[in-house]
Structure 1
Amino acid sequence: MQDNESVINNINKLKNEKNAVILAHNYQRDEIQDIADFVGDSLGLSQEAVNQDADVIVFCGVDFMAESAAILSPEKTVLMPEIDAGCPMAAMVTPRSLREKREEYPDAEVVCYVNTSAAVKAECDICCTSANAVNVVNSLDANTIIFVPDKNLANYVNSQTEKTIIPWEGYCPTHHQILAGDVLLMKEQHPSADFLAHPECRIDVLEIADEILSTTGMVNYVKQSDSDEFIIGTENGILHRLEKENPDKKFYHASQYAICPNMKMITLDSVQKSLEKMEYEIRVPEETRAKAKRALDRMLEVKRSE
């Protein structure tokens, strides 16, 4: 059994040999974030993959994230260390079920959260992130919007727009674990702390938030804030990055149960094995990739025009 130092040394050696870059989501294990070349949100990491002069992308996240990297960087080899690390919310919508919903609302446009499979992205009109969802929805000509797959994010968008939002009945099980009662208890214990909530949280949790932010939004807000204490309403893995980048500030999780088991599947050993065996390669069929990329590109055009 190798110790962590030996594994990390071997990972770095393999990275150099194979011209690889390691991308880690904000929710990954502490030690995975520490060995990554870049830590961030799902779309930001996929865009970073495009910018890197690397032949191999090792994506430490869940399935749809690696697919997004493959969509945007088809000439690169995208590896996912744990092939079973899926996203339960992304699995709550399928291409077929989305096509059936479109038939119910023929005049609607479909906005899909980036937390969806490549096959679902190929069926939608435009993608969005948690940070730009409101702007994306407001950019569309249609007055009726089918929003998939997160009903909590859809409800948040609905509160910020005059358009009619048809929410999909999906949700993130991890963010659903964060309850308003838990947050209120934390607020009692830490009355000076700002409560930052991710828009994937339940609506009653968002109603008591000081700020509603994406993971990148939280990272940036904390850096710029004069506050010294924060209650963080998202997957608890992000606390490692927040503490590392802001050693003079204090952070508390909104719920001890806000842990995504799929995000924690990837270990140092699995990253090492991934590079050694070049597994598991994520490929998106070209027809699907082209359609999904159009939805992502359309979103990025909105972002550039903001």
Structure 2
Amino acid sequence: MTALLEPYSGVEPDAAWRDEVRRLVDQRDAVLLAHNYQLPAIQDIADVTGDSLALSRIAAESDKSTIVFCGVHFMAETAKILSPDKTVLIPDARAGCSLADSITGADLRAWKAEHPGAVVVSYVNTTAEVKAETDICCTSSNAVDVVASIPEDREVLFCPDQFLGAHVKRITGRRNMHIWAGECHVHAGINGAELAERAAANPDADLFVHPECGCATSALYLAGEGIVPSDKVKILSTGDMVTQARSTRATSVLVATEVGMLHQLRKAAPEIDFQAVNDRASCKYMKMITPAALLRSLRLVKDEVHVDAQTAERARASVRRMIEVGKPGGGE
């Protein structure tokens, strides 16, 4: 980690910290939201913990005037898009996202120019600028439904995640679908060989696999070949993982996503042994939202998120179209 990305530190998440955070949240008339990949202390102090789209929708429905979004920058932007009249704070504005950064508005405009008339479908894990250039957003839960809703004679440009795009193309059988070569570096690093090795060592375990993972195709291959029973392989968004954890009859589950997810899964179903497929799959940007960063943001009203009004209006339209199709479910 470079000096530029060194997280704010020096504050322990003890009882005094918790009391001060909650006092400041009340003082700021704020709702405190935390993504599933955040540090456990941040998840536990939040009013709501969940996936980015669900949190943004909760923020929009809240009667609070301020939203404190503990996540990465595009998530706070989405909250601002859906709540333009509210103050949105992210505890550390440097918390970016390798997936969102893999395509810019200029990149998308150039791609659209190469495919006139194509329908642009963008994963919700994108910047406001990209959402503004998009016809309809999608989540990992409704991406298949969104693409299937587009007339078959229309080309589809799917961005930015190549693994989610490949999953959608495989399920829909869509031939005129072009996929941007972007990825989340953390999810891409969870590979098929690791998954196969862990599955072989834990034959009774269910597999919870995020479709952004490099191992998603391998998971379906294992099921298709009968190496792992097909009913044990679940391709799920983060929000759907929590729902599935509460209903599965498995006693152990291998989880292929960012390791912060384990905290919510273990809280949802403490009797189940949840283990990471790759315990090194930790996002340094998510972990920049430290106890010190949260306290700084609340005390000093730092860092506020702004989205140009015209950009926000166009981006809001693509998000609303997404919500109208299928099951929006988890944001990612």
TM range (shorter): over 0.9
Gaps of 5+ in 1: none
| Residue in structure 1 matched with residue 298 of structure 2 by the alignment | 275
Matched AA of 1:154 = G
Deviation at 1:88, TM superposition (A): 0.8
Residue 148 (1) aligns with residue 159 (2): yes
| Structure 1 residues 6 and 206: alpha-carbon distance in aligned structure 2, compared to 1, 3 A threshold | same
| Residue in structure 2 matched with residue 71 of structure 1 by the alignment | 81
Residue deviations 1:38-71 (CA, integer Å, cap 9, x gap): 1111100000101111111110000100000000
Q: How many residues align?
A: 306
- CA–CA distance in structure 1, aligned partners of residues 279 and 26 of structure 2: 38
Of 290, 315, 319, 1:296 maps to: 319
Deviation at 1:107, TM superposition (A): 2.5
| Residue in structure 2 matched with residue 191 of structure 1 by the alignment | 203
Moved more, 285-294 or 51-60: 51-60
Residue deviations 1:95-139 (CA, integer Å, cap 9, x gap): 111111111111210000001000000001000001100001111
Q: Is the 8 A contact 1:23 1:38 kept in 2?
A: yes
3-state SS in 2 of match to 1:127: strand
Residue deviations 1:239-295 (CA, integer Å, cap 9, x gap): 011111211111010102211110111111111111111110001010000000000
| Residue in structure 1 matched with residue 139 of structure 2 by the alignment | 129
**Equivalent residues in 2 for 1:136-285, closer than 5 Å:** 136-141=146-151, 143-163=154-174, 164-202=176-214, 203-207=216-220, 208=222, 210-285=233-308
3-state SS in 2 of match to 1:211: strand
3-state SS in 2 of match to 1:160: helix
Q: Is the 8 A contact 1:199 1:206 kept in 2?
A: no
Deviation at 1:161, TM superposition (A): 1.1
CA RMSD of aligned residues (A): 1.6
Q: Is the 8 A contact 1:62 1:85 kept in 2?
A: yes
| Residue in structure 1 matched with residue 228 of structure 2 by the alignment | none
Matched AA of 2:154 = N
- CA–CA distance in structure 2, aligned partners of residues 154 and 294 of structure 1: 22
| Structure 1 residues 206 and 304: alpha-carbon distance in aligned structure 2, compared to 1, 3 A threshold | closer
- CA–CA distance in structure 2, aligned partners of residues 304 and 60 of structure 1: 24
**Equivalent residues in 2 for 1:87-98, closer than 5 Å:** 87-98=97-108
The alignment-based identity, stated in percent, is 42
| Residue in structure 2 matched with residue 286 of structure 1 by the alignment | 309
| Residue in structure 2 matched with residue 16 of structure 1 by the alignment | 26
Structure 1 length as normaliser, TM-score?
0.96
- CA–CA distance in structure 1, aligned partners of residues 163 and 177 of structure 2: 12
Residue 49 (1) aligns with residue 62 (2): no
3-state SS in 2 of match to 1:303: coil
- CA–CA distance in structure 2, aligned partners of residues 162 and 139 of structure 1: 13
3-state SS in 2 of match to 1:251: strand
3-state SS in 1 of match to 2:158: strand
3-state SS in 1 of match to 2:37: coil
Residue 102 (1) aligns with residue 112 (2): yes
> Relative CO higher for 1 or 2, CA cutoff 8 Å, sep ≥ 6?
2
Residue 6 (1) aligns with residue 16 (2): yes
Q: Is the 8 A contact 2:258 2:281 kept in 1?
A: yes
- CA–CA distance in structure 2, aligned partners of residues 270 and 70 of structure 1: 20
Deviation at 1:305, TM superposition (A): 10
Structure 2 length as normaliser, TM-score?
0.89
- CA–CA distance in structure 2, aligned partners of residues 192 and 125 of structure 1: 43
Deviation at 1:184, TM superposition (A): 1.8
Moved more, 274-283 or 181-190: 181-190
Matched AA of 1:116 = T
- CA–CA distance in structure 2, aligned partners of residues 33 and 259 of structure 1: 15
Matched AA of 1:175 = H
Q: Is the 8 A contact 2:11 2:291 kept in 1?
A: no
| Structure 1 residues 305 and 223: alpha-carbon distance in aligned structure 2, compared to 1, 3 A threshold | closer
Q: Is the 8 A contact 1:230 1:251 kept in 2?
A: yes
Of 39, 48, 55, 2:49 maps to: 39
3-state SS in 2 of match to 1:159: helix
